[in-house]
Structure 1
Amino acid sequence: MTFLPNSVEARDIAYQLHPLVDLQNYGKTGALVIERGEGVYVFDNTGKRYIEGLAGLWSVAVGFGEMRLSDVAKAQMDKLPYYHVFAHKTHGPSVDLAEKLIQMAPVPMSKVHFTSSGSEANDLVVKLIWYRANALGRPEKKKIIGRVKGYHGVTIAAGSITGLARNHASFDLPLDRMRHVSCPDHAGMALPGESEIEFSRRMAAELEALILAEGPETVAAFFGEPVMASGGVYVPPEGYWQEIQAVLRKYDVLLVADEVICGFGRTGEMFGCQTFGIEPDVMVLSKQISSSYMPLSAILMTEGFYAPVAEESARIGTFGHGFTASGHPVATAVGLENIRIIEERDLVGNCRRRSPRFLARLAELAAHPKAKAWRGIGLIGAVELKPWQQAGAAGAAFQAAAMAEGVIARAIGDTLCFCPPLIISAEEIEAMFDAVARALDAISE
C-alpha cells in the first residue's frame, strides 16, 4: 500500500515500532489511523465509523469521549500535574483511590501499590513474592506456576508466566523459575464423556503432580486470570477454581488473581473473583480501572502477604523498589472518577442485562458452517472458526472482513474475540453481530 509522503500513515511506518505485528511486513501494510471516539464507536481519518468490539484492548469500560474523565484529568493537571509517592511523600488522589479499592475488594485486603500497566504490576508481584520468601526464611520457595494460553504481560517475569509461545520466542523466555500447567479448555481438551467437574479435578491433579515433582518447598505462587482472555477467551469449567484453590492451600502456594481484564464488571460482577469464588492473596488490576484513559494499574495484597514484606524492609532499612509514575496523581484521579461512573451508571448491571443476548449472538455465529465453537461470559466472548490450511489464516480473514463491515475485534489464531465497552446498548449489540455475521458470510479460503 502506498501512502502520501507526509501522511500520518507514512510517518508512522518511518518512525514507530509497533507491537504484535510482523515488523518487516508492517512497512508494506501500514496502519488504520483512529482519530476520535464516541461511546462504543471510533472513527478513522477518513471518517469511517467502527463499533469498537474489543473496547480498545479489553479496557474502555465507560466508552470513548467520556467528558467527566477528561474534566477530572484537566482539573488535576491544573492543581498538581505530577508528584511521586517515594520516601515519605504522598498526595490525595492516590490515597483516595487506594482507600476505594480496599473498600471494594472481594476479600479483605491490606495495602495497594500503583503501577502503570498490567505487565508492570505482575512483574512487581513476582519480585514481591521472592522478597517475601526471603523474609520468611524460605529462599528456595521461588517458583511460579502459570497456565498454557494464560496472559500476564510481556515484561521479563510477567512474560515468563504468560503461556503463549509468541511472547517467548527469541526473547529467551520463560525464566527458569517459571512453570506451566494446562489451559482449562473443557470443550477442546476433555476426555470422551468427561464432565466439567471431572475435567476440573483432572486439571487440579495435574497441578498437584507438578507441585510434588518440583517440590512443594520450591513452589511459591500460582497466577491465573479468572477468565483467560488474551489467549483466546477461555471460561473456567464448573468447579475449576474450587479444585485449584484446594491444591494451592494444601501446599502453601500463593494465589495471584490477574483481574487486569475481568476486573470492574466484565464478567457480570465487579470482579471475576466474585463470579468464580476465588479468594486470592494478591489481586492485579488495570485496564478498566481507568478505562485506559490514563495508564494505571494496582496491586492489592492481603495482610498475610504484606506483613513479611514490611518486616523485611525494616530489617534491610528500606523497601528498595519504586517507579517514577507509581500513584501518578492524574492517573489515580481519573481512575477514581472512572469507578464512580461504573457504579453510578450501574455498568456491572448493564453487563448482566446485555450478556444473554451477547452470548446468544455468539452461539448463532458458532452455528455457521465456517465456525466450530463459541465461548463467553458476561460481555467477553469468542467465536472459533474451522481452520484453513494455514493456521491463523481464517481468523485473520475474519478480523479483516469484520473491519470492512465496521466492527473492530481481535483475531487470536483462528478465534475472533469480542469485549465491547460495558456501556453497550441492546441495539448496538445487534448492530455489531449483524455486521460480524455478514463478515463471516464473506470470507473464504
Structure 2
Amino acid sequence: MRPNNLHEADIAHFIHQQTDLADHAEHGAILMDRGEGVRVWDTEGREYIEAMAGLWCTSLGFSEKRLADAAYKQLLQLPYYHTFFAKGHEPGVVLAEKLIGLAPEGLTNVAFQCSGSEANDAAIKMIWYYNNLVGRPSKKKIIGRVRGYHGNTIATASLSGQPHMQADFDLPYGDRFLKVSNPHYYRAAEPGETEEQFSARMADELEALIEKEGAENIAAFFAEPVQGGGGALTPPRGYFDLIQPILRKHDILFVADEVICGFGRTGEMWGSLTYGIKPDILTCAKQLTAAYQPLSATLISRPIHEALVAGSRKNGSFGHGYTYGGHPVACAVGVETLNIYAERDMIGHVKKVSPAFLAGLEQFRGHPLVGDVRGVGLIAGVELMADKAARTPFTPAQKVGVLVQEKCREAGLVVRAIGDRIAFTPPLIITEAEIGEMCARFGRGLDAAWAEMGAVPRAA
C-alpha cells in the first residue's frame, strides 16, 4: 500500500495524468517535495533514487543552479514575448542556431512548441501542408507502430499505438493513421528467428502495408529510435537499415521522434546517430531544457521549409503557432542546458558510465522474474516473464509490473512499469556509485515482489 500523504484538496480537485484514478481515489498519491542530483524526497521525508529522470527528462538532475539562474535572469529581462507576426527574441534565435548546429545532416529550420506532443502534432500538420503545396493532396496517411508513443493530442494519440490512450476517447480519429507491428524481438520473434531475420520480417510488413494502401496515399513514417512508452525498447539489429530504403523508394518522409532519445540518452547526441537514421523531420523536447522549463522543437529539412514559404505566398502567412511556443524563459534555459552538455561533455560521461549501467541491470537476467534485459546508453528495459524458458508472459490481471514498481518504491527507487517491462532512464549525471546503489535497490524490489508472489527470495 502506498503511504497516503495526500491532501484532501488534491483528491477533490487535482486530476493526475496517466493514472488509475479509481486506485488513486482509494490510496492517494505521493507528493514530491524536493530534489538534489539523482535523488528526490517526498513530503514525508522518504528519499528515492529517481531512475526514470522524472518522465525521461531531468537529464541534469534536480538541483542544477545554472538553469535556475538562467530562468531568473531572463524573467527579469524579458519574461514573455511571442514569435508571431515576425517578432521574436534573442534566446529563441540563439537556441535555434545551436540546435541546427547539432542536428543530423539535412535539417535546416526549427519551430518551437511547449511539449513533445505538440512537436509531433506540428510535424503532422506540416507534413499534410507540405504535400498539399507540392501537389500531392492524396499523400496524407501516416504510419506509426504498435506500442509507439508520440503524444497526447488528438492527432498524436491517434498516431500512437497505445490502446489505453485511445479507449473511450473516440480515437484513433479518422482514417489517416496506420500501424505496423511493434519490433519487439524478445516477445514477437518466431522460434529460431535471428534478430536480423526478425527485422527483415518487420520491413516486409511495412512494404506490404505501403503496397496495400498505395504509396501515393502515404506521407510519413514516425518512429522513436528507442521506444519509450513501448517499454524502453531498443530496435532489433538491422531494423532501421532495412526500413529506410523502403521509405526512400516510396517517397515517404521519416520522422524521428527524439523526444526521449535526444541530447545524449543513447550515448550520442541523437538516437538517430546511434542507429544510422537520416530523418526528414526530427522532434525533440524533455532533455532540451533538462525539464526545467516546458519546451520542444520540430526540426525540418530544407524542402519542407521551402513549402512553408511557398504556402505563405499562397495563403498570406504560415497559419500555425502557440502562445507559449518558443517562450523566452524556456529558450534561455535551453541555451544554458546545451552549454552545460558541451562544457561537461555529457555525451562522454554517458559513454563512460553506460557499461556499468547496462552490466548492473544485466546481472538480473538470472532472477526468476526476469526474462530479458536490453538497453543502450542510459536507457534500458527489464522484461518480466512468468516462464522465461517458454517465454510465457504474465497475464495483465496479475499486474506483476505494477507490483515490482511498488516494491522498488518501498526500497527507495523510482522506476516505471510499462506493462511487465520495467523502464530505466536515470539522469545523465548519474555516477557509477549511484548506478550501483540503484541496482541494489532494484534487486531488493525484485526479491520483495517475488516473495509476495509466494516464492522464496534469492539468497543475498
SS at match of 2:107: coil
**Is the CA contact 2:35–2:62 (under 8 Å) kept in the aligned structure 1?**
yes
Distance 1:142 1:196 in 2: 32
> Counterpart of 1:271 in structure 2: which amino acid?
W
Would you say 1:117 and 2:123 are equivalent positions? no
Report what 2:271 is aligned to. 272
> Map of 1:61-210 to 2, 5 A cutoff?
61-175=59-173, 176-210=175-209
Q: Separation in 2 of the partners of 1:48 and 1:214? A: 54
Question: Alpha-carbon deviation of 1:191?
Answer: 2.0
Residues 55-85 of structure 1 show CA distances to partners (whole Å, capped at 9, x for unaligned) of: 0000011111100000000000000000001
Q: Show the counterpart of 2:405.
A: 399
Cα displacement string for residues 102-140 of structure 1 (whole angstroms, at most 9, x for unaligned residues): 011121221100000000111111111111111111111
Partner of 1:43: 41
Q: 1:384 to 1:98 in 2, by over 3 A?
A: same
Q: Which moved more, 1:210-219 or 1:338-347?
A: 338-347
What are the Cα deviations for residues 295-342 of structure 1, in whole angstroms up to 9, with x where unaligned?
A: 000000010221112101211111111100111000000011011111
Query: For residue 434 of structure 2, what is the aligned residue in structure 1?
Result: 428
Cα 1:40–1:149 shift into 2, 3 Å: same
Which residue does the alignment assign to 2:50?
52
**Structure 1 residues 2, 64: CA separation in 2 closer, same or farther (over 3 Å shift)?**
closer
How far the C-alpha of 1:189 sits from its partner, in A, is: 1.5
Q: Indicate if the aligned counterparts of 1:402 and 1:439 stay in contact, CA closer than 8 A.
A: yes
Q: Deviations over 1:229-280 (max 9, x none)?
A: 1111211111111110000000000000000000000000010000000000
Gaps of 5+ in 2: 387-393, 454-460
Q: Which amino acid aligns with 1:135?
A: L
Does 1:291 pair with 2:290? yes
* In 2, Cα distance between equivalents of 1:146 and 1:219: 11
One-letter identity of the residue aligned with 2:438: M
Structure 2 counterpart of 1:407, one-letter code: L
Distance in 2, matches of 1:300 and 1:199, equals 31
Equivalent position amino acid for 1:357 in 2: A
Do the aligned residues in 1 keep the contact of 2:52 with 2:416 (CA within 8 Å)?
Answer: yes
Contact 2:3 2:30 in 1 (8 A): no
Give the Cα–Cα distance (whole angstroms) in 2 for the partners of residues 326 and 67 of structure 1. 24
Aligned partner of 1:415 among 395, 418, 421: 421
Post-superposition shift, 1:3? 9.5
**Distance of 2:338 and 2:368 partners within structure 1:** 41
The one-letter amino acid paired with 1:286 is A
Aligned equivalents of 1:104 and 1:237: distance in 2? 26
Distance 2:25 2:31 in 1: 15
Counterpart position of 1:220 = 219
- CA-to-aligned-CA distance 1:340-384 (integer Å, 9 cap, x gap): 111111111111111111111211112101221112111101111
Structure 1 unaligned residues grouped into runs of 5+: none
Aligned to 1:16: 14
Count of paired positions: 443
Question: Is the 1:391–1:413 Cα contact (8 Å) retained in structure 2?
Answer: no
Give the letter aligned to residue 57 of structure 1.
L
Q: Does 1:442 align with 2:448?
A: yes
2:232 equivalent to 1:233: yes
What is the SS of the residue equivalent to 1:110? strand
In structure 2, the residue matched to 1:282 is: 281
